[in-house]
A and B are shown apart, each in its own frame.
Chain A
């Protein structure tokens, strides 16, 4: 770990002030950042601890305003989340381990970095994320865990969060504070696809801090399903966050997002469009999944993800339709 200065922020403004330097990083639960610092992949000169900032969960206009310092466990166990946003509770509970969830913050979870083994192998592998222009060893290497949607020749990594997949499906917005002031952003617009610059993972300005996440009201049945290589404590091969409302035998409203398939939590807009106002049948669900995955591009080891994503979408929609019926 490279030496750094540690400071603790007592307000968002103070945090933004402290992080004036390029080489500063905000520290949440540390479950990803401390690991990456130990690997010397992250080498901040200054760590600004923002875990003392807002850890409140407030009901607002039928929705929720969630402080960025709220720990994952606290969010998953919150009564309103369990009752109205089961997709979010389930996504969080499917992630990592209980210990990690007790530490990890909402803000940190959103900004966690990929688990691509070549990204992590600082000494022995090439990675365009770590060293722009260096090349990508994952492209022709072990890429079973890697992306099938929105990839580029520069990067095929996935975003590892479960929580973000649910947030993407929930139309969450992210509250930001930076040197230029405050703004909000749809979560689906926060993360970037890799393109030519996989090292730039979000649209955040330097020093910009996530202060909160806002959820609009949800009036649909919702759930989250994660498919992985062991029963627990593993990153997703594919995950599906879904919300559905059926009226008069037709899909009245639907939200779908996929995890484990792209450089960002993947909102399945195409599938949603295909489903909207359509019949509640396995065939319709399958057609929607086919539409979403039409552009999927498999790598050496991950072609199975295309079919897995489709099947999981169909299964989850079927489960929600059954609940609605």
Chain B
């Protein structure tokens, strides 16, 4: 049975299952006193059932078209030359040989690049997408080692690459800040994240720490990391007059279109960015210089351009996660109750971006305590602008916090899970808001049972041949977000089919699949009568595939659009319909039409309503309400990560032999793809724990392992069987009762591994990655 047939079968079964009751419309907000999304309690539909990806057949056949794979007539191929100094100016540029090389169409440098406005920096506007705020190739200034200094266009990629190698650039270098020590010596500034200071003091944490009978105080370090999606960044760009058409690999099509329009000083509507498939993003696939350079070169050459960054190019042009140096101190009573939590430290960024790695965010709501001191200080380095990478803040912040808790448990002689449970907060400890849905204790209990946590021995006690074996655990958290700007359009046609259009993205999360099932269920349609349009900046909404919020954003948008749709349908149905006289709140989606909620025999199919009204289609578009739920509750996804490691006593090699993730992320909408998201996050967490580090040469600010041979990510043999379980308890205050699942997996995993390594060896390593030299 192929996927469509399977889906069809599932739909039949589902339709039979839902005959009893129509699904009422969801409320358009989830404020206190409000009612939850009725989909939450709807147990017999598509939502919550495992479903294969609808794009699966295309992807396994290699037929899904990624950004570099749209042939354009008359296309030229781009190659980019990068600076080799961190700061200064271009003194001389010799492009003669390159310009004369076979097949070369254009050599673009700051001397001939068209005028462009500075890049809108992410978060300076709701649609700003830039990783930094620099103007691209407008002057001779060098801001980082690896900055593009020239672009060659040629008839073939081979010709472009060769011509690029003939360019000779000389620089006048200026003193640059390229080491952490030098940057710190120049002074740090306060960090800000999402418009809020990364600084918080409650009570007197330092004084309470001094008094505390039990305490831990330690410094943890995490290195730079790069996303390394397997698809390198690429874009194909063509100008039709003043209109710019872009095939991009993007997790923010609307953002990118708006930002490119600003840069080229044209109307937003004159830029169309599409991105049907994204070969992995993890935070990296926003707007960087390559799309801007491609558009500029296409304009200058009056030819379509394909600019596909080399793997090295991705490291040079696209920022990664920044380093952190975290101080964590916790004071506790003899019974384990925390009196004081201190989480402070330093990260580095550039003067051209505004994204300090916010490593304290998980600590704000993790544990009960009366005294907090949280602070992220920023030191400035001349480097490519760092950016968000899967679970920014939490991924590395939980390493410090959750290792410290393990250390404190050891000091107290307590089981680390019991210590965590003892400090479980009743409400958000720093905001004072109630939790919308927090079941981390249940997740721990279930996970511990299933993992066999009770088999854990004292540190260094279990040995099999050369291998020391240990277990560790840690808590992961990631906030529930729903960013403003979501919107959706539902087009219902006379044949009873619906198309939901959202400017959203499919990077492998299963977005299209899960939203098809959600929409089908809301509308009371079979799955094969619903399709999803996405990945196009001309579609409604500003929906970033980031912050694990895309499905919540789409969900809230579709709810709003359905309300408009139903209101319009009831109008069209008129007085001759069984639905006559009913209001939108009295009807629901049911059996390919609308029905009265408590009287399902009062039903009229969509097809019937439309044909009677003489309409081929009804189009309803609406924006999601502002995310006010975030102001009333403390909202997060949670996990308890369990890990078993084997550390070689001779060589220090660490192998992770078992992992279990026990998740509490609201209702799981598609167990099949959600499980993959959880596992995927955990595996990136294993990389973070064991091997990942971007080697930034502090002498000159150059990244020295700009390749997949030298930047290690986990290979198949590094990945053990990973078991994932979940509470599946819906959050009544979110669309579908769901929380995000994309980033939670990586959080906590680094600490779980490090804690297991401690349990295996008795060695506490506080610097990531846990390479063998640290364990010998």
A adjacent to B, CB under 8 Å: yes
The one of A2, A117, A237 that contacts B772, using a Cβ cutoff of 8 Å: A237
Contacts of A115 in B (CB 8 A): 709-710
Using a CB–CB distance below 8 Å, which chain B residues touch chain A?
A: 81-82, 84, 102, 145, 158, 161-162, 165, 466, 650-653, 655, 690-691, 695, 697, 699-700, 702, 704-705, 707, 709-710, 712, 714-718, 771-773, 776
Taking the closest CB of chain A, its distance from the CB of B171, in whole angstroms, is: 11
The one of A124, A231, A235 that contacts B655, using a Cβ cutoff of 8 Å: A231
Decide: B712 and A311 in contact? CB cutoff 8 A.
no
Contacts of A308 in B (CB 8 A): 651-652, 772-773, 776
Taking the closest CB of chain A, its distance from the CB of B700, in whole angstroms, is: 8
Decide: B165 and A304 in contact? CB cutoff 8 A.
no
Contacts of B691 in A (CB 8 A): 229-230
The one of A1, A141, A235 that contacts B162, using a Cβ cutoff of 8 Å: A1
Decide: B690 and A230 in contact? CB cutoff 8 A.
yes
Taking the closest CB of chain B, its distance from the CB of A140, in whole angstroms, is: 7
Cα–Cα, bound, A141→B650 (Å): 27
Cα–Cα, bound, A144→B691 (Å): 13
Decide: B710 and A117 in contact? CB cutoff 8 A.
yes
Taking the closest CB of chain B, its distance from the CB of A274, in whole angstroms, is: 20
A/B interface sample: 14 pairs, CB < 8 A: A1-B158, A1-B162, A115-B709, A115-B710, A123-B81, A123-B82, A142-B695, A227-B653, A229-B772, A231-B655, A232-B718, A237-B772, A314-B650, A315-B466
Contacts of B714 in A (CB 8 A): 230
Decide: A117 and B165 in contact? CB cutoff 8 A.
no
Taking the closest CB of chain B, its distance from the CB of A158, in whole angstroms, is: 13
Closest to B714 in A: A230
Cα–Cα, bound, A244→B478 (Å): 55
Contacts of B655 in A (CB 8 A): 231
Q: Does A234 contact B (CB under 8 A)?
A: yes
Decide: A38 and B161 in contact? CB cutoff 8 A.
yes
Cα–Cα, bound, A121→B707 (Å): 11
Cα–Cα, bound, A234→B84 (Å): 27
Cα–Cα, bound, A282→B81 (Å): 55
Decide: A117 and B718 in contact? CB cutoff 8 A.
no
Taking the closest CB of chain B, its distance from the CB of A227, in whole angstroms, is: 5
Q: Does A3 contact B (CB under 8 A)?
A: yes
Decide: A312 and B651 in contact? CB cutoff 8 A.
yes
Decide: A123 and B776 in contact? CB cutoff 8 A.
no
The one of B699, B773, B776 that contacts A141, using a Cβ cutoff of 8 Å: B699
Contacts of A38 in B (CB 8 A): 161
Cα–Cα, bound, A213→B363 (Å): 61
Contacts of B81 in A (CB 8 A): 123
Decide: B712 and A124 in contact? CB cutoff 8 A.
no
Taking the closest CB of chain A, its distance from the CB of B261, in whole angstroms, is: 33
Q: Does A118 contact B (CB under 8 A)?
A: yes
Closest to A2 in B: B162
The one of A121, A125, A231 that contacts B715, using a Cβ cutoff of 8 Å: A231
Contacts of A59 in B (CB 8 A): none
Decide: B690 and A304 in contact? CB cutoff 8 A.
no
Cα–Cα, bound, A311→B776 (Å): 10
Decide: A315 and B650 in contact? CB cutoff 8 A.
yes
Cα–Cα, bound, A1→B102 (Å): 13
Cα–Cα, bound, A235→B709 (Å): 9
| Cβ-closest 5 pairs across A and B | A304-B773, A231-B717, A124-B84, A232-B717, A117-B704
Q: Does A102 contact B (CB under 8 A)?
A: no
The one of B653, B697, B715, B716 that contacts A142, using a Cβ cutoff of 8 Å: B697
Cα–Cα, bound, A2→B102 (Å): 11
Cα–Cα, bound, A134→B707 (Å): 24
Q: Does A40 contact B (CB under 8 A)?
A: yes
Decide: B699 and A140 in contact? CB cutoff 8 A.
yes
Decide: B162 and A311 in contact? CB cutoff 8 A.
no
Task: Assess A2 versus B695: contact at CB under 8 Å? Given A227-B653, A231-B715, A312-B650.
Answer: no
Contacts of A58 in B (CB 8 A): none
Contacts of B161 in A (CB 8 A): 1, 38
Cα–Cα, bound, A140→B179 (Å): 14
Closest to B82 in A: A123
The one of A2, A117, A123 that contacts B705, using a Cβ cutoff of 8 Å: A117
Task: Assess A227 versus B717: contact at CB under 8 Å? Given A38-B161, A140-B699, A141-B704.
Answer: no
Taking the closest CB of chain B, its distance from the CB of A64, in whole angstroms, is: 29
Taking the closest CB of chain B, its distance from the CB of A223, in whole angstroms, is: 14
Taking the closest CB of chain A, its distance from the CB of B648, in whole angstroms, is: 8
Taking the closest CB of chain B, its distance from the CB of A232, in whole angstroms, is: 4
Taking the closest CB of chain A, its distance from the CB of B709, in whole angstroms, is: 7
- A93-141 residues at the B interface, CB under 8 angstroms: 115, 117-118, 120-121, 123-125, 137, 140-141
